[in-house]
Structure 1
Amino acid sequence: MTFEDAIEPLLDHPVTRQMTLDTNSETKERQTFKPRRIAVLDTGLTEMTDQPQYRFADNSEARRMLPGIIDNCVQKVAVRPDMSIQEKKAFCKPRRIGVVFSGGPAPGGHTVIAGLYDAMKTNHPDSCLYGFVLGPDGLLESSCVEITEKMVDAHRQMGGFSMIRTGRTKIDTSEKMDQALKTCQSLNLEGIVIIGGDDSNTNAAFLAQHFKSAGIHVVGVPKTIDGDIQVKSDDGTCLLAVPFGFHSAARSFAQNISHLASDAASDVKYWHVCKVMGRVASHLTLEAALQTHANLAFIGEELAAYTDEERLKKAQETGETDFTAFGITLRHLSRVICDAIVRRAAFGKNYGIMIIPEGILEFINEIQIFIIKLNKIIADFNTIHDLDFHRTFPTLNEKLDYLRRISQGMMDSHPFPIWNVRDDELFNQLPDFFQAGLLVERDFHGNFQFSQVRTEKIIMDMVKEYLGALKEQGRYKIGISQSYYQSFMRSRNLDPDRFAPALFNDPNSVYLLVKPGIMSLKTLKQALVTAGLLEPDQEIPGPVKEIFRRSEPDFKIQTHFYGYDGRGCDPTAFDCHYTYNLGMTAFHLMAHGKTGQMAAIKNLEQPFENWEPIGIPIARLMHLEERKGRLELVMEKSLVDLSSNAFRVFKGMREKWLAAKPGADHFRKPGPVRCDSRSAEDRPITLTLNAIDMRTKKRSNDQNP
């Protein structure tokens, strides 16, 4: 009998068939889960009302390049109960709309499509939704598929963008825009919905401008796990608190990090260094820290804002300004980390959890200067020589040789060279892998690709080096519990109180630190002889040796990168409700002929009953930004606000969460990502904290003394 013949009955068994299905009970639960609908979107008939009270700064370049959509204002989806028969007929006509995923995946994208699809079919059953395959490439190549009910039902509340897949191609030339317009016209579409991040919504604005004369509308939907699409009007009113996908990714990361916290506190020998996505903003790091109560977490925006007050004061005394006092250095950052590690070790905790953002190096002063200079040099080379820098100089040595040559040439011809001899000297002091990382090929947008650089290795190598120096100085030691020391010595028939004064700084403390001068068995013996506890020719008692050994730290790390796993996780309940209503909002914007608007939900921090579907003018969110060595008009990213409640709470709690004292850590378990659970958090912690109105609390306290 062959293996195939023998295995066939087992494979055909009902239990085997059930256990090997592509779906399980939780998947089915997700696919049948029904997100809540905002009341106004559930009525069917709506109107768009202008909200002129929300104003934005007027960017002259945006006005010049996007004249057709620059005067859009914020619009609110409102109920229209008195619609005439003719208006109702026009509103409820069959519609043909296209949808595009653009950029990296984010949890909830499929639910955006579900909301859009359901709204279209509710409006008129003959409406057709077309999905462009592989993102913008599908739009350029006229590669699309009609999205069916079966497709939508199979992907409801599921992670990823696998229904129609995604891509990163930019439609950034008039030729590409003409081709995209031709595709839309050939399908007789009245508009397209672009689901993407800041660059994708920038693209949506330019397409809206280009398509406007043809009567084809473009609506954007804010997506990015990085959390850096947030919109406030000039008066500080929050119109878009967070993009979709952020909460789900942060919860996914936090759950994994909390598992590491359990492991770290169990075998007490590793520091887990967790790098999370976030190239230019640290929103994910902040949310993950609040979710897990990690011992250490670094917010890049805070590092960039750091000022060395002592250095600044010293320079001011001489009437000078020390510009190196602004912005933290790699050396200083490594010292801050070392201080925290040493403090925890003093209480027996030679382990811990550290979270850093993927783009932390971009917030480090000297590294940022290198990146800016190298971006300019590479861009100038490509422009002047009409060649690709990375193809022309494929190896690190060839790139370094070019830098050395231009540094000499610039010194000869420029009074203020971009790359000078000092830059060359400092750059050559960096490890080879870091040099290669700084010279790595830029991404599609001209950005430095931090995900390809082992950020954590650069920082932790410096930490290890300094910890080694502290260990040699006797300043890095593991504290030994007084109770453990007492019982250990007595169980070996030695008097703990007799040896303690010779061994420890403070023999009466809860955690005992071996004296700094005792750094080896030789110095240990000298201390015991000096204290009269040992004769010069006697051996150190075994239990005393063991106590000394346990005080010697062995610093070990485990590194982890959280990024793609969070992009592809299933959406949380919050993101399920959020994205479904974003999809419906996109439909209503489209149905009312709006273009150049980004679908958004206002009041996300409030109870669901207060959520408001709106459209935000994308052109008003644009600013000039350096890309590939030149200024381009793009949608502005939102950084962590250091004055926000969320950051202030984190700052106020981090000393407690460092737990550099006797007692347990304060690790928090966020729990699994669920879409239908009473225990599921209904919004990000950062969102909840930022919604706290301290003025209201103060007034309440004043009224109730």
Structure 2
Amino acid sequence: MSISALQKERAKYQPKLPKSLKGNVKLVEGAKTESVADQKEIAELFPNTYGMPLITFEAADAAAEKQPVNVGVILSGGQAPGGHNVISGIFDGIKNIHPDSKLYGFLGGPGGLVDHKYMELTADIIDEYRNTGGFDIIGSGRTKLEEEAQFDKGLEIAKDLSLNALVIIGGDDSNTNACVLAEYYAKIDSGVQVIGCPKTIDGDLKNEMIETSFGFDTATKVYSELIGNIQRDANSAKKYWHFIKLMGRSASHIGLECALKTQPNITLISEEVAEKKQTLGEVVDYMAGIVANRAADGNNFGVALIPEGLIEFIPEMKVLISELNDLLAEGTESEKEFKMLKKSHRNEWVAGHLSETSSSVFSSLPSGIATQLTLDRDPHGNVQVSLIETEKLLGEMVKTRLDEMKEAGESAGKFGTQYHFFGYEGRCAAPSNFDADYCYSLGYTASVLISEGRTGYMASVRNTTAPADEWIAGGVPVTMMMNMEKRHGHMKPVIQKALVELEGAPYKYFVSKRGEWATGTEFVYPGPIQYFGPTEVCDQTTETLKLEQA
């Protein structure tokens, strides 16, 4: 296998660990926990894994003799930089517990567990993937572990391989399913533990105990390099507005972090749009106003960052999407009727089956965007927002608004647009030093939780703005993060998504600066991720974490 010069050097990098994980480890139990909301319902659904204590690790004087542990690992959902280091951390952790421990990887995500597709991960294989991006060591998948029949099939292979535990590396939905699996295996006294690890570049799996999800740091550094390059181009050519859509379906953490790193002229924050109940027209007016003001200063160029999920946060669009999700829900009569229509007749049919207000909004959209809203749903039954070209919708509408302003004598500048969507570019990048260290620590933490017989926990590593030596490793019960939400028409327990906090320090700092970034050209050019060099360049955390923990 050919590898690049960077890969060769990165293979030599030894990730840093918290002091508490470097030698013998003792487990310290903290306070009993309860779910963030709906305590009664969650407690009833998870009688075996609810109310467990928080756990932290401390250095111990002596180690108790441990038995070998056999562990299965699953990569679930979309890719995020650092997944290979979580697996490396698990491997090294269980080998440290006992050299005869074994690690098995289930292939292609949770489906590999159900279909009994797996491989043993040996030292030779692991060493090839240390500090590399991607999930290609075993592949990932989006099969949902929700049915007892699936759990039972998984248990068959777990028994065949003499597994003590499964580690599920995923986002909020994957870890919700991990918790349901942990509860089921505990209920039937299967002897198989389940541990989760917090993964998502979106940054929306975070709370008091999970300071950041892995991959967020690397992905936002990759996007910020690209945004910086575009800003330099815009400032050089001085003739285009670049509308950049950024991945992140439910929250604007990526957009906010990239804005803090690069200081663009416009950054839309979905949560703010929802809080202010802004209409699509008001968002367009805001953007057009900034474009016109810059044009008045002779600056017919700029950069706008747009979160992927923005349209779901605009109240009128949120109602429309909710109605469309119900109308086109899989297996319904209306969905079957819709699919039998000629494509050219579908939008008209949809408009006739919506409420009067939503029909009016739907009909006002450019036809291409309206069509994108009716495409096949994702596995959760929701509109696939990544397929909706929100950046082009806003670009077209801003142009129309500026033309109206020009006719009224309110604007005299030129407006040319370039469109970009940054998503896949960041998901499999070689992890930054922060993510390489953080992921390795998460994996190692999972191995200790397993050796201590815990189940229904998520690996937790905190105090992450300090040097890695001072990080605090431990475990948080997954039930602590849960609430009840409506999914597919039914109330289900799910991990509560963390949206951008409008009272939080990162957002408040952004608000204090965005006015000057809008009128001036205050661009920052972060450049590529640095893996070698001074600590202040190579090991820096996100701006979000710095501001949150300042």
TM-score when scaled to structure 2? 0.95
Q: Could you tell me whether the CA contact under 8 Å between 2:482 and 2:493 is conserved in 1?
A: yes
Aligned residue number for residue 687 of structure 1: 545
Residues 540-619 of structure 1 mapped to structure 2, 5 A cutoff: 553-619=413-479
Question: What is the CA distance between 1:256 and its match in structure 2?
Answer: 0.4
Any idea what the Cα deviations from partners look like across 1:463-498, whole Å, max 9, x if unmatched?
A: 000111112223222xxxxxxxxxxxxxxxxxxxxx
Aligned residue number for residue 533 of structure 2: 677
Aligned residue number for residue 488 of structure 2: 628
Q: Which of 254, 265, 279 is the matching residue for 2:235?
A: 265
Q: Could you tell me whether the CA contact under 8 Å between 2:328 and 2:335 is conserved in 1?
A: no
Which letter maps to 1:49? V
Do structure 1's residue 368 and structure 2's residue 318 form an aligned pair? yes
CA separation of 1:53 and 1:445: change in aligned 2, threshold 3 A: same
Instruction: For residue 15 of structure 2, give the secondary structure of its aligned residue in structure 1.
Output: coil
Aligned residue number for residue 35 of structure 1: 15
Which letter maps to 1:30? R
Q: Could you tell me whether the CA contact under 8 Å between 1:573 and 1:676 is conserved in 2?
A: no
Q: Could you tell me whether the CA contact under 8 Å between 1:571 and 1:675 is conserved in 2?
A: no
Between the aligned partners of 2:172 and 2:341, the Cα distance in structure 1 is: 32
CA separation of 1:669 and 1:170: change in aligned 2, threshold 3 A: same
CA separation of 1:570 and 1:378: change in aligned 2, threshold 3 A: same
Between the aligned partners of 1:199 and 1:32, the Cα distance in structure 2 is: 34
Q: Could you tell me whether the CA contact under 8 Å between 1:285 and 1:355 is conserved in 2?
A: yes
Instruction: For residue 108 of structure 2, give the secondary structure of its aligned residue in structure 1.
Output: coil
Runs of 4+ in 1 over 6 A off after TM superposition: none
Aligned residue number for residue 284 of structure 2: 334
Q: Which of 112, 118, 128 is the matching residue for 2:92?
A: 118
Q: Could you tell me whether the CA contact under 8 Å between 1:31 and 1:156 is conserved in 2?
A: yes
Which letter maps to 2:251? A
CA separation of 1:463 and 1:56: change in aligned 2, threshold 3 A: same
Question: What is the CA distance between 1:393 and its match in structure 2?
Answer: 5.0
Q: Could you tell me whether the CA contact under 8 Å between 2:271 and 2:500 is conserved in 1?
A: yes
Between the aligned partners of 1:196 and 1:428, the Cα distance in structure 2 is: 38
CA separation of 1:329 and 1:223: change in aligned 2, threshold 3 A: same
Q: Could you tell me whether the CA contact under 8 Å between 1:295 and 1:657 is conserved in 2?
A: yes
Aligned residue number for residue 50 of structure 1: 29
TM-score when scaled to structure 1? 0.75
Do structure 1's residue 80 and structure 2's residue 60 form an aligned pair? yes
Aligned residue number for residue 40 of structure 2: 60
Between the aligned partners of 2:443 and 2:359, the Cα distance in structure 1 is: 52
Any idea what the Cα deviations from partners look like across 1:646-674, whole Å, max 9, x if unmatched?
A: 111111111121234xxxx2111212113
Any idea what the Cα deviations from partners look like across 1:158-200, whole Å, max 9, x if unmatched?
A: 1100000100000111111111111211111001100000011
Do structure 1's residue 435 and structure 2's residue 370 form an aligned pair? yes
Q: Which of 370, 381, 405 is the matching residue for 1:446?
A: 381
Aligned residue number for residue 639 of structure 1: 499
Between the aligned partners of 1:558 and 1:621, the Cα distance in structure 2 is: 40
Query: Which of the pair has more CA radius of gyration?
Result: 1
Q: Which of 234, 254, 258 is the matching residue for 2:224?
A: 254
Q: Which of 290, 299, 307 is the matching residue for 2:269?
A: 299
Q: Which moved more, 1:388-397 or 1:349-358?
A: 388-397
CA separation of 1:388 and 1:229: change in aligned 2, threshold 3 A: farther
Aligned residue number for residue 144 of structure 1: 118
Q: Could you tell me whether the CA contact under 8 Å between 2:328 and 2:334 is conserved in 1?
A: no
Aligned residue number for residue 201 of structure 2: 225
Aligned residue number for residue 6 of structure 1: none
Instruction: For residue 687 of structure 1, give the secondary structure of its aligned residue in structure 2.
Output: helix
RMSD: 1.8
Q: Could you tell me whether the CA contact under 8 Å between 1:396 and 1:436 is conserved in 2?
A: no
Aligned residue number for residue 415 of structure 1: none
Which letter maps to 1:651? V
Question: What is the CA distance between 1:396 and its match in structure 2?
Answer: 5.8
Q: Which of 173, 189, 193 is the matching residue for 1:199?
A: 173
Structure 1: where are the runs of 5+ without partners?
1-20, 233-238, 307-326, 408-418, 478-552, 693-705
Instruction: For residue 138 of structure 2, give the secondary structure of its aligned residue in structure 1.
Output: coil
Q: Could you tell me whether the CA contact under 8 Å between 1:62 and 1:620 is conserved in 2?
A: no
Question: What is the CA distance between 1:244 and its match in structure 2?
Answer: 0.4
Instruction: For residue 125 of structure 1, give the secondary structure of its aligned residue in structure 2.
Output: coil
Instruction: For residue 465 of structure 1, give the secondary structure of its aligned residue in structure 2.
Output: helix
Question: What is the CA distance between 1:376 and its match in structure 2?
Answer: 2.2
Q: Which of 343, 349, 353 is the matching residue for 1:395?
A: 343
Which letter maps to 1:338? A
Between the aligned partners of 2:328 and 2:227, the Cα distance in structure 1 is: 38
Between the aligned partners of 2:342 and 2:448, the Cα distance in structure 1 is: 51
Question: What is the CA distance between 1:621 and its match in structure 2?
Answer: 1.2
Any idea what the Cα deviations from partners look like across 1:583-617, whole Å, max 9, x if unmatched?
A: 00000001101000000102113332321111111
Between the aligned partners of 1:74 and 1:389, the Cα distance in structure 2 is: 51
Aligned residue number for residue 659 of structure 1: 519
Instruction: For residue 53 of structure 2, give the secondary structure of its aligned residue in structure 1.
Output: coil
Between the aligned partners of 2:342 and 2:138, the Cα distance in structure 1 is: 35
Between the aligned partners of 1:135 and 1:646, the Cα distance in structure 2 is: 34
Q: Give aligned-pair identity as a percent.
A: 36
Residues 485-524 of structure 1 mapped to structure 2, 5 A cutoff: none
Which letter maps to 1:226? D
Between the aligned partners of 1:156 and 1:82, the Cα distance in structure 2 is: 30
Aligned residue number for residue 286 of structure 1: 256
Question: What is the CA distance between 1:64 and its match in structure 2?
Answer: 1.9
